[in-house]
Amino acid sequence: MTDITATSAGSAAASPGRTLVGLFGAAGPLIALILLMLVGALMSDSFLGAENLSNVFTRSAIIGIIAVGATFVITAGGLDLSVGSLSALVAGMTIMFMNSAAATLGDGWQLVAAGILFSLAIGAFAGFINGFMIVRGRVEAFIVTLGAMGIFRSVITWLADGGSISLDFSLRDAARPIYYGQVLGIAVPIIVLAVIAVLGELTLRRMRFGRHVAAIGSNRHVAFYSAIPVSRVRILTYVIQGLCVAVATVIYVPRLGAATPSTGLMWELEAIAAVIIGGTALSGGFGRIWGTIVGVLILGFISNILNLTGFVSPYLNGAFQGAIIIIAVLLQRDRAQG
């Protein structure tokens, strides 16, 4: 009896400490972002300028939208390595569709709307195929999406004949506001990211689907015996990922007005890095959209600081991202063991 009481007392005494560690762990990405911004401000006078911050937020929005979809996939215990290649394919096929449909639909908002719907259909279909092969085909997500990455990249290279697929100049003015437009002084990509992030956070935290996603990632077999439609939910996470890739691509296309075989190169690394930095468990079972957005901003500001200061070559940005992924996973493992 004394031992039980002592153990309970010890647990009660330790719980405030664990709670404090948990709070610091949850706020870790946000603290890291604040410290990074302070470092950037000290290293460059133009870092906190409105123009520079707007540029970072706008560029980060593309990866941020993709990373929101990746949060659902990873929380459910999955992985998608094909998002960058899918983005290139969606961009190329959407440009080809808009160029060919211009004669029928004109060069106004009807054509832009049709292009958006077309890209969403491609993204959703590709996500469904990935999810179906993983769930129904019982093939590891790593293998399926690695294969899809090669397929998508090869198809866009073939369609572009190794070069580029360009949007007709007569159509660029109609598509330009999607990336360069503003609403109340805020860039359209930032607004789209904010809307998708809020919807994603509400879905993951407040809706039954989000709870099912976390339950499946935590223990797929227990979720199945709890009457959760495991297969359907897992496939839907990949569909969501495909839709997010399509939205990001639609926003990105007007920036350059063309798609090449290198479009979206290494975007999968950036998206996964942002998700892991934000605190989503790589093993599944726990995810947070707001943390993913913070992770995206951390990566964006690291790249921005490298460009502004020249302290380290910006060509090493990928090395920083890879190192950050490894460190974040090691911290997750240590936290889990503790």
pLDDT of residue 14: 42
Angle between helices 267-277 and 50-75 (to 10 degrees): 80
pTM over 0.85: yes
pLDDT of residue 266: 87
pLDDT of residue 11: 39
Q: Supply 218's token pair.
A: 């935590």
The stretches in the chain having pLDDT less than 70 are 1-26, 314, 332-338
pLDDT of residue 333: 65
Q: Supply 189's token pair.
A: 């990509």
pLDDT of residue 10: 41
Residue 338 and residue 336: Cα distance in Å, rounded?
5
Backbone angles phi, psi at 258, to 5 degrees: -155, 160
126-129 long-range contacts, CB within 8 A, separation 24+ = 126/82, 126/86, 126/89, 126/90, 126/152, 126/242, 126/245, 127/238, 127/239, 127/240, 127/241, 127/242, 127/243, 127/245, 128/235, 128/238, 128/239, 128/242
Under 8 Å between Cβ of 263 and 87: yes
Residues with Cβ < 8 Å from 152, sequence gap 6 or more?
82, 85, 86, 88, 89, 126
pLDDT of residue 98: 92
pLDDT of residue 152: 96
pLDDT of residue 1: 42
Which residue bears the tokens 């990866």? 63
